[in-house]
Structure 1
Amino acid sequence: MGFSEALEQAAVNYGISLTNDQINAYNSYFNLLIEWNEKINLTAITEPQDVAVKHIIDSLSCYSEEVFKPGAHIIDVGTGAGFPGLPLKIWQPNLKLTLLDSLNKRVNFLQTVVDILKIDNVKVIHNRAEEGANKREYREQYDVAVSRAVARLNVLCELCMPFVKVGGYFVALKGAQYQSEVSEAQRALEVLGGEIFKIQPVKLPGLDDVRAVVYIKKTKKTPKVYPRRPGTPEKKPL
């Protein structure tokens, strides 16, 4: 089964509808991902069925109408190969997207995808989260920050919440340990100005693993001392 067919079936099984234009865009994205993955390490997941479910549908699983409002400014922190930001943008073109990653090779890949697919209102930034969040043009400028990074939630909160406006949201896509991570992150939430808004369990088509999306609402400004210097959030989590 080719990628387009696998994605179309996965979308139906997950209960979402994709247009032909969206499927074509995702297919072009997939082809670029596989091509560039031979030159730089973007993903260990390369089989069409796996990319369709574990990258595209998984990325779309975090979409919530009450959080991702039309025209919202979104930043994908530590986006890697563009997940979940680019799949969300292709599915909801009205979103204004910023992709942030610390590795220049990945940034070049992302810019190539954006240029070839002619996706409007996407900015690609080469920066570490700890540095970007302390720049005036990015700090507390976004309606939503999303991240599918592998760091634990208390670390991700420090890296992502400084980008979010008061009243906005940080959305984290998490795996089987999400409940313990939420408990572990309570102090970080208090310090950084957030509170749990909702937790949405996720069941991906054909997979039995445990996943959830954690939605955190920004209720007050993040103190200026956060995020701390690069590497510190991981070494000394809140």
Structure 2
Amino acid sequence: MPLVNPQEPVVLPEALEVWQRTLNWQPTSKQQSKFQNLYTEILKGNQRLNLTRITDPAEFWEKHLWDSLCGIQPWLNQSERSLQVIDVGTGAGFPGVPVAIVCPQWRITLLDSTQKKIAFLADLIATLQLKAEAITDRAERLGHLVQHREKYDLALIRAVATASVCAEYTLPLLKVGGSAVLYRGQWSEAETQGLQIAAKQLGGCITQIERFETPLSQSVRHCIYLKKVELTRAIFPRAIGVPTQKPL
């Protein structure tokens, strides 16, 4: 994989036509500038933290920017609405930071259990002047805190765990009527059936499964959309570690 020297100015693809063709949306020049600043800060942060192996500009654009925004395509052209959004297991800030850049009216919470990454993200939020906060915690604990339980309109979760675990992490955080977006690679009918069973126990249901091809490498991606249709029972999420050890 190509390595990028963070001392050299490396420019991300603009790709306006690709944005328009694939997501029916284009970033503004201000958003493009913030994407570039995000990329620069990630490269700098990589010198002391293991943030991402994806440093080639085209690959970064596709796998971190485009991929992050494909999941919120249903909301991209109505981003002026003010939503409470949480990115569960955000890691280096994906998909939450690109979402915060393109949806400045949304209030984004970036959640991760790694303190060093959250400290980096807190600095990044200040640098990019984003309407966001970064907090260190576990989804199993956060889902029982009154200031977070059933407070969010939208929950995003990418590359964290199996689909049923992702549902248990996200659905307790959502208001009734809210949505969760599960970012996945390949997807099967058996996974759909298993997730539907888990989601029902958590007060949710699958509303849509979207298949995407990434625009540069033509890799297959899926976004699974869940809707919160009733209150989640108080026993969920279960104790730290239990969702992964004993998936629903």
Instruction: Quote how far apart the aligned CAs of 1:186 are.
Output: 2.1
- Structure 1: gaps (5+ residues): none
State whether residues 131 and 230 of structure 1, in contact with CA within 8 Å, keep that contact through their aligned partners in structure 2.
Answer: yes
Choose the corresponding residue for 1:20, options 10, 29, 47. 29
1:111 corresponding residue in structure 2: 122
2:202 corresponding residue in structure 1: 192
State whether residues 178 and 212 of structure 1, in contact with CA within 8 Å, keep that contact through their aligned partners in structure 2.
Answer: no
Instruction: Quote how far apart the aligned CAs of 1:2 are.
Output: 4.1
Distance 2:80 2:186 in 1: 28
User: Match of 2:166, as an amino acid?
Assistant: L
Summarize deviations over 1:100-138 as a string: whole Å, max 9, x none: 110001101111110011113x12111011111111100
Distance 1:4 1:108 in 2: 25
User: Match of 2:12, as an amino acid?
Assistant: S
1:138 corresponding residue in structure 2: 148
Instruction: Quote how far apart the aligned CAs of 1:149 are.
Output: 2.6
State whether residues 101 and 128 of structure 1, in contact with CA within 8 Å, keep that contact through their aligned partners in structure 2.
Answer: yes
List 4+ stretches of structure 1 deviating above 6 A.
66-69
Choose the corresponding residue for 2:103, options 50, 67, 92. 92
Q: Which range is displaced more, 226-235 or 5-14?
A: 5-14
Choose the corresponding residue for 1:228, options 201, 213, 238. 238
1:3 is paired with a residue whose SS is coil
User: Match of 2:99, as an amino acid?
Assistant: L
User: Match of 1:90, as an amino acid?
Assistant: I
User: Match of 1:4, as an amino acid?
Assistant: L
User: Match of 2:53, as an amino acid?
Assistant: A
1:42 corresponding residue in structure 2: 51
1:5 corresponding residue in structure 2: 13
Using the size of structure 1 for normalisation, the TM-score is: 0.93
Using the size of structure 2 for normalisation, the TM-score is: 0.89
State whether residues 149 and 172 of structure 2, in contact with CA within 8 Å, keep that contact through their aligned partners in structure 1.
Answer: yes
User: Match of 2:60, as an amino acid?
Assistant: V
2:244 is paired with a residue whose SS is helix
2:85 corresponding residue in structure 1: 74
Q: Which range is displaced more, 218-227 or 201-210?
A: 201-210
Instruction: Quote how far apart the aligned CAs of 1:11 are.
Output: 2.7
Distance 1:16 1:46 in 2: 24
2:179 is paired with a residue whose SS is strand
Distance 2:55 2:114 in 1: 20
State whether residues 79 and 105 of structure 2, in contact with CA within 8 Å, keep that contact through their aligned partners in structure 1.
Answer: no
- Structure 2: gaps (5+ residues): 1-8
Q: Residue 208 and residue 180 in structure 1: after superposition, are their counterparts in 2 closer, same or farther (change >3 A)?
A: farther
Instruction: Quote how far apart the aligned CAs of 1:207 are.
Output: 2.1
User: Match of 1:126, as an amino acid?
Assistant: T
Instruction: Quote how far apart the aligned CAs of 1:38 are.
Output: 1.8
User: Match of 1:124, as an amino acid?
Assistant: A
Distance 1:83 1:176 in 2: 19
